[in-house]
Each structure stands twice: as structure tokens, then as C-alpha cells.
Amino acid sequence: MSISLSTEAVNKVIDGKATAEVVLQEVKAEVDQFKQQGIQPCLAVILVGFDPASQVYVRNKVQKAEQVGIRSLEFRMDADTSTETLLAKIKELNEDASVNGILVQLPLPKHIDENTVLQSVLAEKDVDGFHSENVGGLSQGRDVLVPCTPKGCLRLLKDHLGDLSGLNAVVIGRSNIVGKPMANLLLHENCTVTIVHSKTQNIQDICKQADILVAAIGRPQMINADYVKENAVVIDVGINRIEQHGKTRLVGDVDYDSVYPIASAITPVPGGVGPMTIAYLMKNTLHATHIQHGH
Ligand code: GUN
């Protein structure tokens, strides 16, 4: 009895860290194949300003790239960098054939025109999938570069559930980075998809219909048991730093302890979606390398 209970508990927590390691092994094998053809995949990361969280994310991205054999270039620019100076840097990287992927870490300082910057990255080097060519391509179901976090979430869902056809999926949050691309990916998997957001009425009732619930709102522990259907699979995209008992702690958008007993499976924070985002950035860098070599 105790053995079957503990097995159930292990399967119930979706281990993003372990799955990310599997994805990184896949990436490493593919990098080796590129290298045998004399191709060295390369990712350029640009950070403007000194936001502490962004500095950590960028360091992690660069380290992970090196770990799997992808060459990484890191460019740090002052917080008062002008839009023109940033655009000039991106143009240089667009024109550099040895650079396959370009990522501009967000958020950018307020004086910078974010839309112009994101549109200036060549679509075939846009490993974030933020360029309108890629956004449109995703909407049409073309094999384009797609934002890393929703791709990582989808991998966790498919690894756990297999075929998603016909399932009711509710995405909480409508951001360009997560909510909207997540909804599109789930739609292409034949889910029935609803997006709810801050102006939605009866959010709880809608969430309670979901077989798959993806929380991407940026509100610490907002989604508790009242939002979750029995046996739903819950994916928590939130990364929120909260003060508790005089210490800071990372929590998701889901109230894990409240939801765990109801869900059939749930991603923890940390160790859920976070590692998958970086792993899929590496996958996207290889996808970009394929596109540029006409594969
Ligand atoms: N900041 C928070 N998430 C992301 C992301 O997915 N890509 C980039 N470039 N910046 C981010």
C-alpha cells in the first residue's frame, strides 16, 4: 500500500527539471550532429540595464547554452542605451552569419520602443518567437519559432497525457509571451481552448471546467482549490517572489498545497515550467540553425 501511494505521489508531481534534462540531452545530440557538419550553433543574448532578475535569467541562459555545446554571446548594454543603439547592435547580429539565434531580454527600459526592437530581429533568428511573422505563423499552424515557455508547457502536457485531443483547456492570462501562444498551441493539439483574464466574469466557474489548466497571470498563489476540477492537470507558469516569515520564497500562480489534493498532476515552483523554458530556448536555437542552413 505504501509503495503504490508513493508511486502515485511521484507521478502526480510533473518534474520539469528532469524533463528539461531529457530535452537538453536531445539538444546536445543534435548539436554534435551539427558540429560533424562543421556548423557551430550560436545564440546571442542582449541585456539592457541591470534588472537583477533579468541578470539571473540571462546568466542561466548563457550557462545552459555552453553546457549543451551551443556557442553563446552575451551583450550587456547600459540602462540609458537608446533605441537606435540597440537597433544597430541587432542589425549587426542579424547580418552576422555565425549567429543563429538572437534574444533580447525583457523587460526593456521604459524609454526603449519594445515593439520596434522585437520586430527588428530577423524572423529566422527570433528564438523567442516574438516577431509578427512567427506570431502569425503559429496562428496558422506553420512550423515557425514559437515562444519557449508555452512550448515547454506543451511538452510537459504531452509527456504526461499523450494525446490532448478533445480536452478542455483553460489558459489564465493573455500575454504575448505565454497566454496567447499557449492557447494557439493547445488549439493545434485539438483542445477546446478558453482564455480567461482580469476582466473575465465567473473565472472560477470557467476554470472548474478545465481538464488542463495553465496559470500564467503573475499573481502569487491566486489559483486555489476553488478553481480546479477534480483530476485536472495543472501547469503553473508563475514565478513570484514573496516574503514569508521574514524570508523571501519563490511561489507560482497556483496555491500548490490547496490544489495538490484535487489535481491529477501539477507542476511545482521551482522545478516545473522554469527549467523547461531554458531547455526550449536551446531547442529553438537549433530550429533557427536548421532554418538558416535551409533544412
Ligand atoms: N522576460 C521574461 N520572460 C522572457 C522571455 O521568454 N523572453 C525574453 N526575451 N524575455 C523574457
**73 C-alpha to ligand 1 centroid (Å):** 17
- CATH code, 148-274: 3.40.50.720
Q: What is the mean pLDDT of residues 47-71?
A: 96
pLDDT tens-digit map of 146-166: 999 999 999 999 999 999 999
Residue 173 is assigned to a ligand binding site: yes
Q: What is the mean pLDDT of residues 185-199?
A: 98
Q: What is the mean pLDDT of residues 175-188?
A: 98
Residue 132 is assigned to a ligand binding site: no
Q: Looking at ligand 1, which atom is closest to the CA of residue 128? A: 7
Say what the pLDDT of residue 1 is: 41
Angle, helices 179-188/132-140, rounded to nearest 10 degrees: 30
Using a 6 Å cutoff on CB, does residue 121 contact ligand 1? Answer: no
Residue 217 is assigned to a ligand binding site: no
d(CA 14, CA 271): 9
Average pLDDT, the chain: 96
pLDDT tens-digit map of 73-119: 999 999 999 999 999 999 999 999 999 999 999 999 999 999 999 99
| In contact, 51 and 78? CB cutoff 8 Å | no
* Model confidence band, residue 11 (pLDDT cutoffs 50, 70, 90): confident
Share of the chain above pLDDT 90, in %: 95
- Most distant pair of Cα atoms in the chain: their distance: 65
**Any bridge partners for residue 13, and if so which?**
266
d(CA 262, CA 176): 30
C-alpha closest to that of 180 among 150, 210, 215: 150
Q: What is the mean pLDDT of residues 12-36?
A: 98
Give the angle subtended at the CA of 24 by the CAs of 214 and 158, to the nearest 5°.
35
Could you give the 3-state DSSP secondary structure of residue 193?
strand
- Ligand 1 atom 8: the closest Cα is on which residue? 105
Could you give the 3-state DSSP secondary structure of residue 143?
coil
Report if pTM > 0.75: yes
Using a 6 Å cutoff on CB, does residue 105 contact ligand 1? Answer: yes
**105 C-alpha to ligand 1 centroid (Å):** 5
C-alpha closest to that of 208 among 266, 253, 153, 263: 263
Q: What is the mean pLDDT of residues 216-238?
A: 98
Q: Looking at ligand 1, which atom is closest to the CA of residue 107? A: 1
C-alpha closest to that of 272 among 283, 258, 256, 287: 256
* Model confidence band, residue 37 (pLDDT cutoffs 50, 70, 90): very high
Q: What is the mean pLDDT of residues 250-261?
A: 98
Our answer to whether residue 244 is catalytic in this structure is no
Choose, from 105, 151, 221, 283, the residue flagged as catalytic: 105
Using a 6 Å cutoff on CB, does residue 81 contact ligand 1? Answer: no
Give the right CATH number for 38-123 from 3.40.50.10860, 3.40.50.360, 1.10.10.60, 3.40.50.2300.
3.40.50.10860
* Model confidence band, residue 2 (pLDDT cutoffs 50, 70, 90): very low
- Check for a shared fold between 38-123 and 148-274: yes
Cell of 40: 557551430
Q: Give the domain ranges of the chain.
A: 38-123, 148-274
d(CA 213, CA 192): 12
**For residue 135, what are the contacts with CB-CB under 8 A and spacing of at least 6?**
129, 176, 181
* Model confidence band, residue 295 (pLDDT cutoffs 50, 70, 90): confident
Q: What is the mean pLDDT of residues 163-172?
A: 98
Question: Is pLDDT at 8 greater than 60 in this prediction?
Answer: no
Q: Looking at ligand 1, which atom is closest to the CA of residue 148? A: 6
Per DSSP, 121 falls in state S
Say what the pLDDT of residue 3 is: 46
